[in-house]
């Protein structure tokens, strides 16, 4: 929250949808809304993350919307630079940025996501990470045109990216404007495998739409995946578990557990060497075990504003998701969906 409030671009509104949270964060948000009239809090019963995000975005009035997770950190000039790019590039419908990884004790490793539309789409179709969802700014009119997020409460970003690519161009700024937090406890191996399956499902639906063919249900996709592609499915499962080990390795290293992180990295390499090397290369802005890793403080600091105290971050990281939108005069609304 602090990094949004501190943005150099100040003409925005934040919409936070409280989707039945009981951890005390709603009171904090309502108190914040009383102090800053740019913040709106909407309360609703448990309807799921995607329903909350769709609701928040439906309340936005400005033409640009940006998303951001609660425990991540924006660069001071993030909104200013993304709004300027969207204004100067009207054919771009969705824009991300490069990211910096944050852990409990360290930061470093910058991303090298592709900046070209065709390269981004190609990577997404191959189930390669090409855009970081909390960094995106997109045109609200196009989001409404494609029907918002799908009903599945997983991989909604992947599907949305591909559908946005059908009505506009995608891009990433070649600049680190966002710090993405890695929590060891938030990385679930089973969830990663499920997300990878839904990413492939989203890609399969993209191919069907390109051929003007009707879509299939996820259940039918899984049935086809298991029956007709068993060798590929076996390799897919190994690859997905490798991704989980890689993410756990990064989280362990950023938490100061370098030996355990190194072991997990070896496991990831053993299971899927090419994919692990590719991911490491994309995040090679800094040396993984280098001495220039910085310490992440729990309290706000001027050059790296932290969203909340450590306790508040951990309890709210699974609950809130901010987004941003802009008026024709380039005013921006930050729309936070409470997940």
Q: What are phi and psi of 251, to 5 degrees?
A: -65, -40
* pLDDT of the residue at 294: 32
Bigger pLDDT: 184 vs 268: 268
The yes-or-no verdict on residue 23 having pLDDT over 80 is: no
Boundaries of domain holding 9 = 1-188+333-337
The yes-or-no verdict on residue 46 having pLDDT over 60 is: yes
* pLDDT of the residue at 296: 30
**Model pLDDT for residues 85-113, shown as the tens digit of each residue:** 999 999 999 999 999 877 655 556 788 89
Task: Examine the fold and report which residue of 249, 267, 286 is the final residue of a domain before the chain moves on.
Answer: 286
Is beta strand 320-321 parallel, antiparallel or unpaired with respect to 64-66?
unpaired
Q: Please indicate, yes or no, whether residues 111 and 225 belong to a single structural domain of this protein.
A: no
How many domains does the chain divide into? 2
Q: Please indicate, yes or no, whether residues 214 and 239 belong to a single structural domain of this protein.
A: yes
Across all residues in the chain, what is the average pLDDT? 76
Q: Please compute the mean of the pLDDT values over residues 38-64 and round it to a whole number.
A: 87
Q: Please indicate, yes or no, whether residues 147 and 55 belong to a single structural domain of this protein.
A: yes
Predicted confidence band at 45 (pLDDT cuts at 50, 70, 90)?
Answer: confident
HSE of 173 in the Cβ direction (CA atoms, 13 Å)?
25
Q: Please indicate, yes or no, whether residues 117 and 211 belong to a single structural domain of this protein.
A: no
CA–CA distance, 192 with 180 (Å, rounded to integer): 17
* pLDDT of the residue at 295: 30
334 forms beta bridges with 14, 324
**Model pLDDT for residues 152-180, shown as the tens digit of each residue:** 888 899 999 999 999 999 999 999 999 88
The yes-or-no verdict on residue 19 having pLDDT over 60 is: yes
Q: Please indicate, yes or no, whether residues 146 and 196 belong to a single structural domain of this protein.
A: no
Q: What is the CATH number of the domain that holds 3?
A: 3.90.550.10
Residue 270: partners with Cβ closer than 8 Å, 6 or more residues away: none
Residue 303 included in any domain = no
- How many beta carbons lie within 10 A of that of residue 211, not counting itself? 6
């Amino acid at each position: 929250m602090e990094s949004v409030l501190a943005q150099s671009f100040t003409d925005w509104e934040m919409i936070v949808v409280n989707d039945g949270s009981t951890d005390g964060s709603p009171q904090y948000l309502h108190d914040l809304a009383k102090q800053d009239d740019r913040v709106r809090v909407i309360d609703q019963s448990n309807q799921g993350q995607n329903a909350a995000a769709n609701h928040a975005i439906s309340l936005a009035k400005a033409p640009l919307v940006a998303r951001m997770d609660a425990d991540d950190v924006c660069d001071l000039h993030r909104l200013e630079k993304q709004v300027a790019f969207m204004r100067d590039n009207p054919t771009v419908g969705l824009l991300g940025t490069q990211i910096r990884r944050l852990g409990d004790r360290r930061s470093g490793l910058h991303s090298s996501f592709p900046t070209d539309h065709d390269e981004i789409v190609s990577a997404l179709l191959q189930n390669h990470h090409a855009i970081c969802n909390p960094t995106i700014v997109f045109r609200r009119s196009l989001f409404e045109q494609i029907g918002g997020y799908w009903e599945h409460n997983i991989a909604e970003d992947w599907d949305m990216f591909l559908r946005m690519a059908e009505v506009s161009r995608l891009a990433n700024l070649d600049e680190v404007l966002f710090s993405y937090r890695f929590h060891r406890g938030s990385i679930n191996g089973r969830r990663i495998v499920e997300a990878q399956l839904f990413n492939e499902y989203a890609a399969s639906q993209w191919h069907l739409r390109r051929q003007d063919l009707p879509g299939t249900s996820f259940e039918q996709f899984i049935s086809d995946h298991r029956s007709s592609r068993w060798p590929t499915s076996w390799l897919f499962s190994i690859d997905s578990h490798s991704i989980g080990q890689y993410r756990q390795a990064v989280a362990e290293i950023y938490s100061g557990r370098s030996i355990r992180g190194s072991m997990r990295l070896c496991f990831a390499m053993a299971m899927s060497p090419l994919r692990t090397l590719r991911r490491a290369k994309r995040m090679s802005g800094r040396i993984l075990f280098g001495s220039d890793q910085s310490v992440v403080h729990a309290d706000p600091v001027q050059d790296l504003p932290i969203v909340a105290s450590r306790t508040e971050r951990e309890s709210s990281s699974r609950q809130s998701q901010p987004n941003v939108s802009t008026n024709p005069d380039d005013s921006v609304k930050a729309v936070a969906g409470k997940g």
